[in-house]
A and B are shown apart, each in its own frame.
Chain A
Amino acid sequence: MMKRNHLFLSTVFIATILLLSSCSDDDPVLPNEEELITTIIVSLEPQSGEETLHWTFRDPDGADGGQQPAITADALQNGVTYNANIELLNEAESPAESITAEIEAEAEEHQFFFSGSAIDNQLLTVAYADEDGNGNPVGLEFTVQTSADGGTGNFTVILRHEPDKSASGVNEGDISNAGGETDVEITFAVTVQ
């Protein structure tokens, strides 16, 4: 009988100690958002060697934040062909982390697609200028040819992760059968003058 009471009471004590001891431990640390892309810079270098133009899309607080992204797009010259490349950065880190390198390392699993009214109206004509290990385009490098007349239009850049590059039209830049998940979808308001 006494033994039973002891067993009973000691359980109460052990439980209390356990309850109290689980209170103290380390505070959480805000993690590095490793896959966050905050900034996209499209650099357009005219083939004639003049000054490089830039289109930038900056979304510093990502999906968590309500801040509207900042988009700028330098005007292009008509009748010119540009060599373009895309740079992706995580500027939430200091120094800024290059995401471009990660995409280059997994080139087979990524492809950029270009669309929008600027392409539909032939204001801009775009062609891929790079390849992954399987000979399929990636789109980190591409060429842009502006029309002889000027005009304005929308230019959308979509980055797909794990698209089906063998599906019909995908190699030519048609996103319809590509599938995969969208990692980037941004639109620039482009002017050609």
Chain B
Amino acid sequence: MVRITIFSGLFFLLYLTAISSYSQENCKLELSGIITDQQTQEPLPGATIIIEGTSKGTIADINGHFEVRNLCEGHYTFSISFIGYQSHKETITIEERTSKNFSLQSDDIILKGIIIETERQEFSNSQMASSIKGVELESEKGKSLGEILTQVSGVSTLQTGPTIFKPVIHGLHSQRLTILNNGVSLQGQQWGVEHAPEIDPNIASEITIIKGAGAVRYGPDAIGGVVLVDPPSIHDTDEIKGELNVRTMSNGRVGIFSGMVEGGSEKFKNLGWRVQGTAKRGGDHNTPDYNLTNTGMKEYNFSGALGYKNNKGGAELYISSFNNELGILRSAHIGNLTDLQDAIGRNRPFYIEKFSYDINNPRQEVNHHLAKLKFFRRFEGLGELSATYSGQYNQRKEFDIRRGGRDEKPAISLNLISHAFGLALDHQPLGLISGNVGIDAELKNNRNEPGTGIRPILPAYDEFTTGIYLIEKYTARNWGIEAGLRYDYRFLRVRTFDSNEELIKPEFNFNLLSASAGAEYWINEHINISTNFGYSARPPHTIALFSTGLHTGIGSIEEGILIDEGEITIFPDKSFFSNEESIKWTNSLQYQKENVSLELTGYYNHFNNYIFLNPRDVRLTIRGAFPVFAYDQTDAYFLGMDIGADIDFSDQWNYHGHASFLKVKNLNGNGHLPFIPANNLTNSLQYNFGDLKRLEDLFISATVENVFKQNRAPKVVPVSEITNRPDATAENEIYDFVPAPKGYSLLNLDVGFSVPVLEKNKLSFRFGVENIFNTAYRNYMNRLKYYVDNTGRNFSVSLLYNFHTH
């Protein structure tokens, strides 16, 4: 069974490689016919017929009738598919107007094939979605999720040194993005700027990014976008297949080993399984001029899946475990503002040692365990119903440089347990209307593990959210519209201490609405335009409400909205804050013709009550002076544009480029919002040798990445002004300690080829150099920009072995 929502087949083929061009003699030919159910002879309205490898096609109307127009003379392979039926492919020669009927076999008949599909979630087709898979994904194996996602225009990262990368989509990150691990919404401490997503991208065969509100489908935390990390489908084959990947990188002397094996069962025909694991180890990275002492890392991940399916439905069990330990740059750990001033003033960081794999304090230890159980079943006349349970345990410890032999005691020790339950119905299409409806419930318990000897910055809390959503799409021949609505109820109970050190348990109730509406229109078979409006609201996270205390190591005090001068507001309740609301309007245009594909997206995202950290004042303590940042709310807009192009000049030469521009305006007039990604442009040229003797798909490519200076950065207030005149920031203007670094360009080179091995196996080899000129640069979006440059040249060698056995 292949579930294809009406436009998804057309929509996902954004960057296509060329289809051969045919002589332009007669391109007014047509294929028409009727698509029916093979058993019942009933027509199948909504069935799709597309030309394989393209986005050209159409949908059968209410009578099952279709017409594919504007075909040139030639041979075409058509793929006909419909939900609940097995897809059918047929190659047809078109020399004149042709009439052909197709009939599809219902999935009720047991067939060898896919047991558990990839979690192809239902979402809006008029939203901007981009996919990374196949060669693009393979070439990035071994990198963290944040780094891999930067291939897509409009996506950048917020990094803390060379090992921590958080994805930023259209300027939004952390608690505004939802990352899905095989359909399970990852629940960790995403609010933390140094908290990278706890997911191993090696589990994925495809990563999809939705650059718009995913809130209607995924709830309030997807207000800025969604990243879907999807493992491959589970098959019920007899053979065992898989892949092994080894990669080494010179910068950091990193070694990565990952492997995946999947297969079926000879005894149980409808059963399939998959196991996967990754081990990664690296030491201190380096800039062109010095070592970044204490930036080593260790990571061990594992995932496993078991799937069962018969003619009515099936089940899937999935477990995933992510464990890592990361060193934080030693020189970035500071005591107070005087230390920060000294650090900013240095040309080289204070702590530079010889290369080492040792991970010393300050460091992070993160463990994330996830289990998912899903049942699904198709009901005649109703559609497919699925019920999913998932449980997650996230444990995060941060170790600081402490006195009195306390180095082994974490300074922060947070445990987050989440349970989620979802019921979803992908209903049988009613004519040309398809869609889904569902109910979600989620429970989160956040606790501080005792024994740190430090007052926690995030208090214990319990949060229960339940939501109901409806998404419907109407798809006509060359246009479609959709709309979605969601309501969530959230209950939050926090357990913290008031100014008299008494335990209090403030409670909050939130009613949250999200809505979206969009339309897509195919002007002709080459051009497609779409527009989408989304509205969503989210309450501030508990950290934004109750954060207290000094973040040692970054040398500043961050206080929640309900905290004033270090004390909790006497009656902490909703009157002190508002929900953050986002309204986003996205428009996109895609052009696809022969060897050229272009994509242009423009968006306007307006925020009411946007939550951010605003400098408030300076506090004098026994440790010295510290700036106090308070969580605050403002109105702002994000106006941006993404451009992408892919051109095959010939069979050998290919060009790929993408650029993104973003302008953010703080409407309260107290300065630019911090950490907004700068404009960037990436150009890449590839030469394909094709097959050379035993080497297949030999290629060489060069990529130039340009990141421009962020000219809309907060004004600079040097540390000396802050300490000498604490009133310097009294007007509450947003500031930063250093100016935005200048823009930079990096050149990367890649060479790759593959070699067939034995009968069905393949060994792919890839050699690359990043930052080939060893350029020294600082990245505005790196929290360590105050202390050190970004990494220098990096050589990498990667081997990927794909195998089938029997």
Contacts and interface: CB of A to CB of B under 8 A. Distances in A.
B452 to A, nearest CB: 6
A189 B373 CA distance: 67
A69 B622 contact: yes
Contacts of B389: 11, 14-15
A29 interface: yes
23 contacts: A11-B373, A15-B421, A18-B419, A19-B421, A19-B443, A28-B447, A28-B450, A29-B450, A31-B450, A31-B452, A35-B403, A37-B623, A62-B550, A62-B622, A65-B565, A69-B622, A102-B403, A161-B335, A161-B401, A179-B351, A181-B401, A182-B339, A185-B622
Interface in B537-589: 548-550, 557, 564-567
A66 B447 CA distance: 26
Interface residues of A, number: 55
B772 interface: no
A154 to B, nearest CB: 12
A32 interface: yes
Given A64-B557, A162-B401, 8 more contacts: A15-B421, A29-B450, A31-B455, A64-B566, A66-B566, A69-B620, A179-B351, A185-B338
A19 to B, nearest CB: 5
B333 A181 contact: yes
B434 interface: no
Contacts of A57: 622
Interface string A166-193: 0000000000000111111110000000
Interface string A1-29: 10010011001101110110011010111
A24 to B, nearest CB: 10
Contacts of A105: 404
B454 A182 contact: no
Contact of B375 (A7, A64, A109, A182): A7
Interface string B386-428: 0101010000000001111110000000000101010000000
A35 to B, nearest CB: 6
Interface in A34-69: 34-35, 37-40, 57, 59, 61-66, 68-69
Contact of A4 (B313, B336, B351, B455): B313
Contacts of A27: 495, 503
B202 to A, nearest CB: 29
Contact of B623 (A8, A23, A68, A182): A182
Q: Which of B445, B447, B456, B620 has the most CB of A within 10 A?
A: B620
Contacts of A23: 443, 445, 462
| Smallest CB-CB A-B distances: 9 pairs | A66-B565, A185-B624, A182-B335, A34-B453, A181-B335, A63-B550, A65-B566, A179-B350, A102-B404
A103 interface: yes
Given A22-B443, A30-B497, A35-B454, A64 B622 contact: no
A164 B419 CA distance: 49
A179 to B, nearest CB: 4
B160 to A, nearest CB: 18
Interface in B457-477: 459-460, 462
